[in-house]
Amino acid sequence: MPENLRAFVAALPKVELHVHLVGSASVETVTRLARRHPSAGVPTDTEELRRFFTFRDFDHFLTAFWAVQSMIRSSADVHDLVAGLARDLATQNCRYAEVTVTPYNHLLDGLPGDALLEGLATGRATALAEHGVELAWCFDIPGEKGTKAGRETLTFALRERPEGLVGFGLGGPEIGVGRAQFAPLFTAAREAGLHSVPHAGETSGPATVWSAVHDLGAERIGHGTSSGTDPRLLAHLAEHGIALEVCPTSNVRTGQVESVEAHPVRRMLDHGVLVTLNTDDPPMFGATLNGEYLAVASALGLRTAELAELARNAVRVSFLQDTRKQALLAEIDGVACDT
């Protein structure tokens, strides 16, 4: 990898649109939580923890994810997660992130709603004050837990409406979890001013993406990997400006694609789809935002101008205020002009 390309990517101001709060926990953060909560059974030794994060398949990944989830038991734990994420984002020159939080799972695990909200608020303040990273929240439904979880997630989101809440999503396993059953909830969320950002097409076919678009009014699609197999879907996404939150390393690590080279991101770009690059669950997958840009650049032979355009895509389809978007786009232009 040419050093000038590494330097360009490092200097490029970035936005992260698809990162899960629990999945963002670094080895350092997980170790601290594991020592604080030894009953969770998560390794406290660094090497053991790395083996713990070596996944055989998507189900194995979920097992590790839930183990980390079980250690979030207080506002301090939430704060540590948020502050740790911001610290890691700052090292990638990421200025803004929309972070996926799944309140239902935390509440189900016994974390009081007030503690969750306090941890998010204090962590968000720390992120900006100490790391210069602005954070926003997307509250998502754990789809495998059904419409009850959906209703409670929506009620919590609209009742509490924490500062920084911008999106409403749907995550978890896709097989057997139809998108259409959640349509009334997404309609209500959109009517209340929240943006629709469901996962779709990560572990299932393009029909799931179509459903997310038609039934849930998706403005962005989490992953959308299988969209690459349906030219008509790609044309629709491009025509309507529905962006894909692409997470190449995540898709490789969970076995959805064989390699970054085999990822359909090239096909998506060729069809004019608004592609953004993201990390999903970065420490668990050994991913960084800089690394995603470099991996795609290497796999596709992208030039610096094309990488800058990917960074612009993320800014444009984010839910930042227009003034902040324009400022970030100007910064990206400045870096691109210097090369």
Beta sheet of 195-196, edge-to-edge order: 14-20, 94-101, 134-142, 165-171, 195-196
Model confidence pLDDT, tens digit, residues 232-249: 999 999 999 999 999 999
Q: Tell me which residue of 81, 62, 84 sits closest to 72, measured CA to CA.
A: 81
Share of the chain above pLDDT 90, in %: 81
Looking at per-residue pLDDT, the higher value among 68 and 193 belongs to: 193
CA distance 264 to 296: 11
What rounded mean pLDDT belongs to the chain?
Answer: 94
For the entire predicted model, the pTM comes to 0.94
In this structure, are residues 189 and 197 in contact, taking their beta carbons and an 8 Å threshold? no
User: Tokens standing for 291?
Assistant: 């690394």
Phi first, then psi, for residue 75 (nearest 5°) are -60, -30
What residues does 142 pair with on adjacent strands?
Answer: 171
Q: Rounded to the nearest 10 degrees, what angle do helices 146-160 and 113-131 cross at? A: 60
Domain containing residue 7: 3-337
Is 171's pLDDT higher than 90?
yes
Model confidence pLDDT, tens digit, residues 125-149: 999 999 999 999 999 999 999 999 9
Looking at per-residue pLDDT, the higher value among 198 and 64 belongs to: 198
Task: Tell me whether residue 48 is one of the annotated catalytic residues.
Answer: no
pLDDT at 339: 66
- Which helix (H) or strand (E) is 205 found in, with range? none
- Residues 19-24, mean pLDDT to the nearest whole number: 94
User: Half-sphere exposure (CA, 13 Å, Cβ side) for 274?
Assistant: 21
Model confidence pLDDT, tens digit, residues 28-65: 888 888 889 888 888 888 788 778 777 777 777 778 77
- Residues 181-185, mean pLDDT to the nearest whole number: 98
**Three-class DSSP category at 298:** helix
Model confidence pLDDT, tens digit, residues 233-290: 999 999 999 999 999 999 998 899 999 999 999 999 999 999 999 999 998 888 999 9
DSSP 228: G
CATH assignment at residue 83: 3.20.20.140
Angle at 62 between CA 115 and CA 147, to 5 degrees: 65
Confidence label for 1 from pLDDT (cuts 50, 70 and 90): low
- Domain count for the chain, please give it: 1
Phi first, then psi, for residue 160 (nearest 5°) are -90, -40
> Which of 16, 134, 174, 202 does the annotation list as catalytic?
202
Q: Which residues contact 206 (CB under 8 A, 6 or more apart)?
A: 226, 227, 229, 230, 233
